[in-house]
Structure 1
Amino acid sequence: MRMADAARELEDQHDPAATVKNAVELLVRHVEACSSASISLVYSKRRVETPAASDDLAALGDQLQEQLSEGPALSTLWEHETVYIPNLIEDARWPRWGSHLAEATGARTVLTLRLFTLSEVIGALSMYSTEVDAFTAEDQAEGLALAAHIAIAVLAAQKVERYETALDSRAIIGQACGLLMERYDIDATRAFALLTRVSSTENVKLRSIAAELIHTRHLP
């Protein structure tokens, strides 16, 4: 299975910095609609660093946000764990960033996931496509499944020791989904449905179920 293999490949690497660089290449290979990807660190909603980018398109997406002082990683992503832009040219939230990026690179669709939150810093994962409204729900679920592993690698590379408190709920859930995908040979959508069903049956929050699975390697 594609995503289980990708998650296993990330786990098998013992150098966090190398894992971060490899992660963007894995996203392009394994998420069907993704043509470019980047991993960013965003400081105080102003400064953007890019530890890894698959190509110039993804790197420019980050650079333009800092240069133009607008974009999802500088605003909406701080309040929401996922930002989806189906058409950069028509999106009114960041008109300068969207139009500049589309004109310079041909990018049309952007999916950005928040990886973690630290004091005045967030980690972001951005996936780009040159097609309009390119990412399906399955693409988003697969990106989320890898995002958990990527978040841990980025935090390790930044030498954040107690990274568990920094991981967002979606990263915890994504990591748990990755474990289920590999164990039961199922896709990301089915893994998420299984977690949701256990959460409902046990009457326990989804994040808690996911955290227990990661810690014990067993579902309640």
Structure 2
Amino acid sequence: MAGDPDEFAEIALKMHDEDSLDETAERLLEYSLKAVSCSYAGVIFVHGGKRVETVVATHPIVEVLDQIQLDHGEGPDIDVLSDVVSIMVSDTTTESRWPDWGKRVAEVGIRSLLSVRLYTSTDTVGTLNLYDVEPNHFDVDDQAVAHILARHAAIALANARSNEQLRQAIDARKLIGQAQGILMERFDLNADQAFAVLLRYSQDYNVKLRLVAERLIATRVLPS
């Protein structure tokens, strides 16, 4: 795959064709493992510029590795999200930039890492993270290939996330509309009055408006 423009173009099209955010991320991992042979891989998303989460991974150990960085507040993935576009770690046992992180990661069997930022011209989506149990596994060619994959994937992932948020917003509007209809019929309210009732319950009970609507539709009863 490395260096083949036609194959990279085909990969980009396939990632854009995926229906959901998770499916797009999973396809990225599939291609990454083929292009850069390694032990494990995962994708981290960043939400609102602060909260991060492991979206997909090829093995449960990846979530452990991500949590180690969050617990220590340091590590290559964190730096890639803010300072640089990619980082390569040749050997975690001798890594001096994040010594605490390196020690913990080495203890769980990871010796080398390649982390690449997933970003568009307007937004940072997250990071693509590749791991191997052997030291000195990744080289500059692997880094170049990962960069190309990440740039294609970032656009597909950003679009998938926007589409998913739009679908969620549409679903929420439908649920709230149904809940308003129930209140309007039961209590002879107009649409604005019914919405005000839902909003008051949402604020009083510190529950999202969508959840108040879901409960009313399912039980025909507002929170008590």
The interval holding the TM-score normalised by the smaller chain is 0.5 to 0.7
Find runs of 4+ consecutive structure 1 residues off by over 4 angstroms.
Answer: 1-4, 43-46, 117-122
| Secondary structure of the structure 1 residue equivalent to 2:162 | coil
Q: TM-score, normalised by structure 2?
A: 0.61
Asked if residue 75 in structure 1 is aligned to residue 88 in structure 2, the reply is no
Find the counterpart in structure 1 of residue 94 from structure 2. Answer: 90
| Secondary structure of the structure 2 residue equivalent to 1:38 | strand
| Secondary structure of the structure 1 residue equivalent to 2:138 | coil
1:42 deviation in Å?
3.4
Q: Conserved in 2, the CA contact under 8 Å of 1:38 and 1:53?
A: yes
Deviations 1:185-207 (A, max 9, x none): xxxxxxxxxxxxxxxxxxxxxxx
Asked if residue 27 in structure 1 is aligned to residue 29 in structure 2, the reply is no
1:9 deviation in Å?
3.8
Distance 1:6 1:103, change over 3 A: farther
Deviations 1:165-194 (A, max 9, x none): xxxxxxxxxxxxxxxxxxxxxxxxxxxxxx
> Which among 8, 12, 25 is matched to residue 10 of structure 2?
8
Q: Conserved in 1, the CA contact under 8 Å of 2:80 and 2:127?
A: no
When the two chains are superposed, the root-mean-square deviation of aligned CA atoms in Å is 2.8
| Secondary structure of the structure 2 residue equivalent to 1:42 | strand
| Secondary structure of the structure 2 residue equivalent to 1:88 | coil
Q: Conserved in 1, the CA contact under 8 Å of 2:115 and 2:128?
A: yes
Distance 1:16 1:145, change over 3 A: farther
Deviations 1:34-72 (A, max 9, x none): 221111123578642111111123222212211222212
Unaligned stretches of 5+ residues in structure 2: 165-224
Q: TM-score, normalised by structure 1?
A: 0.62
Find the counterpart in structure 2 of residue 40 from structure 1. Answer: 44
Matches within 5 A, 1:102-117: 102-104=106-108, 106-116=109-119
Distance 1:134 1:156, change over 3 A: same
Unaligned stretches of 5+ residues in structure 1: 162-220
- Matched length: 159
One-letter amino acid of the structure 2 residue matched with residue 140 of structure 1: Q
1:127 deviation in Å?
0.9
Q: Conserved in 1, the CA contact under 8 Å of 2:125 and 2:157?
A: no
Find the counterpart in structure 2 of residue 153 from structure 1. Answer: 156
Q: Conserved in 1, the CA contact under 8 Å of 2:110 and 2:134?
A: yes
Find the counterpart in structure 1 of residue 136 from structure 2. Answer: 133
Distance 1:94 1:147, change over 3 A: same
Tell me how far apart the structure 2 counterparts of residues 37 and 46 of structure 1 sit (CA, whole Å): 22
Tell me how far apart the structure 2 counterparts of residues 45 and 72 of structure 1 sit (CA, whole Å): 17
